[in-house]
């Protein structure tokens, strides 16, 4: 019997959202020589990190290694649907952070005003951890993204920032996003960012209106993880580490490489394996529910195949692929065309 999309979302998508809301493992980065300080506009040559600004290494870890507290304005525009609200963000510099919605300024007319704070609050940690731009691997960033420094005197919440624009060298689809980041160079923290589609239409804009470094955050609900997560060693067979079949995809979206693998343990008792892929800036995710049963039905030329189905659900600029393939519950997510999520799933579960 085909399970409903909502039922799978309850377990799997909530696992993705909650696990993504935690700090988890950090990505690695190496930096070459600093950019020429006398050149106002610096274009990074494809395939090298030598021209990247010297503080880009800090950007990789800044959201979790920087102690700060501030209020920022968040605006999301998806066609005729718009959200705008104020939220308070704080971090202690050890990996724990908190995000709380303070005031809802604009919502779609179809959304009940009383439900807006709850809905936005549920997505707040996801927004900080996954929606907000993060550098994840500088080597891949230089290979896949054109980086242009357009200003070094932008002021955000009283702090001087460098303005950086990013655009893919090779678009993955017809509507690839372009980004503009305002980065505080001392810490590497992104204090403002804007996302535009291929036509130049503004899709998202986030900017701190107040921000203090090393501020008191003791009264905030600081957390790193919402449930148990075990980091998996990429140099050791994943199946042997989790004690059941771990289905690592063999086909990632173009330009993406495996960055991290985790075992998630939900309060319900379910376990999911999560693989995170990155192109240096954006990420794609594949999760599957772990089956620890003694007898797992295997497909063979003479056996009946288990039913397979995958539904696609939009989540802002993201696409979620949720369903079952050969009896395995799966989720793929990313800001990539749906066909790449399909390839991700099919290369892991056949």
Q: What are phi and psi of 54, to 5 degrees?
A: -65, -20
The pair of structure tokens assigned to 237 is 């067979």
Which pLDDT tens digit goes with each residue over 66-102? 999 999 999 988 776 788 999 999 999 999 999 999 9
Cβ–Cβ under 8 Å, residues 92 and 65: no
The DSSP element (H or E) to which 150 belongs, if any, is strand 145-156
pLDDT confidence of residue 41? 56
With a CB cutoff of 8 Å and minimum separation 6, the contacts of 59 are 134, 135, 183, 188, 189, 190
Pick from 205, 187, 206, 185: nearest CA to 196: 205
344 vs 299 pLDDT, higher one: 344
Mean pLDDT of 258-263: 96
The pair of structure tokens assigned to 169 is 């060298």
189, burial (CB in 10 Å: exposed 0-12, middle 13-18, buried 19+): buried
306 vs 65 pLDDT, higher one: 65
Tell me the average pLDDT of the chain.
83
Confidence of residue 37 (pLDDT cuts 50, 70, 90): very low
50, pLDDT greater than 70: yes
The domains found in the chain, sorted by start residue, are 27-213 (2.50.20), 228-294+302-348 (3.30.200.100)
- Among the residues of 286-333, which ranges form H helices? none
Q: Which residue has the tokens 């996801």?
A: 126
pLDDT confidence of residue 162? 95
Confidence of residue 28 (pLDDT cuts 50, 70, 90): very low
Pick from 211, 112, 38, 4: nearest CA to 120: 112
């Amino acid at each position: 019997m085909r399970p409903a999309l909502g039922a799978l979302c309850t377990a799997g998508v909530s696992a993705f959202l909650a696990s993504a809301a935690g700090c988890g493992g950090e990505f690695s980065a190496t930096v070459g020589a600093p950019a020429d300080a006398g050149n106002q506009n610096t274009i990074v040559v494809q395939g090298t990190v030598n021209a990247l600004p010297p503080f880009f290494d800090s950007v990789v870890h800044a959201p979790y290694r920087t102690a700060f507290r501030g209020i920022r304005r968040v605006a999301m525009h998806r066609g005729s649907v718009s959200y705008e609200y104020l939220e308070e963000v704080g971090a202690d510099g050890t990996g724990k952070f908190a995000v709380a919605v303070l005031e809802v300024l604009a919502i779609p007319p179809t959304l009940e005003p009383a439900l807006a704070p709850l809905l936005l609050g549920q997505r707040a940690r996801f927004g900080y951890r996954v929606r907000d731009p993060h550098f994840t691997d500088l080597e891949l960033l230089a290979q896949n993204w054109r980086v242009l420094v357009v200003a070094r005197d932008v002021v955000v919440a009283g702090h001087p920032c460098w303005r950086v624009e990013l655009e893919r060298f090779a678009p993955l689809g017809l509507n690839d996003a372009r980004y503009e980041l305002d980065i505080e160079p001392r810490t590497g923290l992104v204090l403002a960012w804007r996302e535009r589609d291929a036509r130049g239409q503004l899709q998202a804009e986030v900017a701190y209106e107040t921000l203090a470094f090393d501020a008191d955050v003791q009264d905030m609900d600081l957390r790193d993880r919402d449930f148990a997560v075990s980091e998996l060693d990429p140099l050791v067979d994943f199946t042997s580490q989790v004690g059941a079949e771990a289905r690592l995809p063999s086909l990632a979206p173009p330009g993406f490489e495996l960055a991290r693998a985790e075992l998630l343990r939900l309060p319900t008792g379910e376990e999911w394996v999560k693989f995170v892929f990155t192109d240096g800036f954006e990420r794609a995710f594949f999760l599957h529910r772990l089956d620890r049963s003694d007898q797992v039905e295997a497909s063979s030329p003479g056996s009946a195949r288990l039913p397979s189905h995958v539904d696609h659900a939009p989540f802002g600029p993201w696409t979620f692929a949720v369903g079952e393939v050969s009896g395995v519950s799966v989720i793929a997510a990313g800001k990539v065309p749906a066909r790449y999520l399909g390839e991700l799933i099919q290369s892991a579960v056949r």
